[in-house]
Structure 1
Amino acid sequence: MKISTKGRYGIRLMLSLAINYEKGTLSLKNIAKEQEISEKYLEQIINPLTKADLVKSFRGAQGGYTLSRSPKDISVGEILQVLEGSLSPVACVDSPTCPNSDNCVSLSLWRRMKDALDEVVDNTTLDSMAQEYLEKEAGKRKSHL
């Protein structure tokens, strides 16, 4: 199972919003520059996040985007669900219509893999990622002194 560019960039976009959550809105232009991602590509990613009510948009000169809830209340799993859909390693985990599902030995393996992945992403919040990011940035600054 691979997370697409859309999912990876979506996490980075949401991380930028989490880091700046207390500071107000951010423009896509600023996020694109900070994250070194095409602004056009971010426009495609922000729309489903806004529709899913993970992000709020504001128009005008001071407009931009912000998280709709606290970074503590948004999991990476929610973001990936919106941008990627199911994180199942194989389709039959989500749709057990396979005639062999009752006898399939592999199915339990695929389910355990999905459960393990869901456990990680559903229990990782934007806040925890933002804290880790800020700690790493502080460590970089200290090593340059």
Structure 2
Amino acid sequence: MLLTKASEYALLSLIYISRQNKSQDVDHMSSELNIPKSFLAKILQTLAKDGLLISFKGAKGGFTLAKSPKEYTLKEIINSVEKKEISVFDCSGGICPNNKEENCFLMPVLVKLQNKVDDFLESITLASIIEDNGKK
């Protein structure tokens, strides 16, 4: 699965919000991050709906983190915005789309690859991205 601009923008937004001392509004963030306002608003609402952000309505409204940056994993952020589990290949979840699991020599390797990708994405936190640019 290719990660979309939504994932990139979600990460940039969460990094930006985490570095501020107060809630951030969509207008300001859109301008600062050079992200189309309507697209950013949709991303932030999705993150809020999934409990990754807290949204405040009104003139002084905006968004803040729902938890500490060290509690966010790259995997949960991407899954929230993409609205599906990250999958390297169609069959890397252990289910063959052609129902030929018993005759497939490749699927066990792809499942192992998927597990490694999942573990890696779970090991990267928002805090680690901010602190050391995600270096592992």
TM-score by length of 1: 0.82
Q: Secondary structure at the match of 1:13?
A: helix
Q: 1-side partners of 2:32 and 2:47: how far apart?
A: 19
Which amino acid in structure 1 is aligned with residue 87 of structure 2? Answer: S
Aligned counterparts of 1:106 and 1:95: Cα–Cα separation in 2: 11
Asked if 2 retains the 8 angstrom alpha-carbon contact of 1:88 and 1:110, the reply is no
Q: Indicate yes or no: 2:71 matched with 1:73.
A: yes
Aligned to 2:116: 116
Unaligned ranges ≥5, structure 1: 134-145
Per the alignment, residue 40 of structure 2 pairs with: 42
Kept in 2: contact 1:27–1:64 (CA 8 A): yes
Kept in 1, the 8 Å contact 2:74–2:121? The answer is: yes
Q: How far 1:95 moved relative to its partner?
A: 6.0
| 1:126 lines up with 2:119 in the alignment | no
Report SS of the residue matched to 2:63: strand
Structure 1 residue runs of 4 or more that deviate by more than 6 Å after TM superposition: none
Tell me, in whole angstroms, the C-alpha distance in 2 between the residues paired with 1:33 and 1:131. 24
2:14 maps to a residue whose letter is: M
Q: Give per-residue Cα distances to partners, 1:39-92, cap 9 Å, x unaligned.
A: 111011112111110000012232210011111111111111111221112222
What is the number of equivalent residue pairs in this alignment?
A: 131
SS in 2 for 1:93: coil
Counterpart residue number, 1:82: 80
Task: Using the aligned pairs only, state the percent identity.
Answer: 24
TM-score (norm 2): 0.87
2:92 corresponds to: 93
Give the helix-richer structure, 1 or 2.
Answer: 1
User: What runs of 5+ residues in structure 2 fail to find an aligned partner?
Assistant: none
Preserved contact between residue 75 and residue 122 of structure 1 (Cα < 8 Å): yes
CA contact (8 A) 2:92 2:113 kept: no
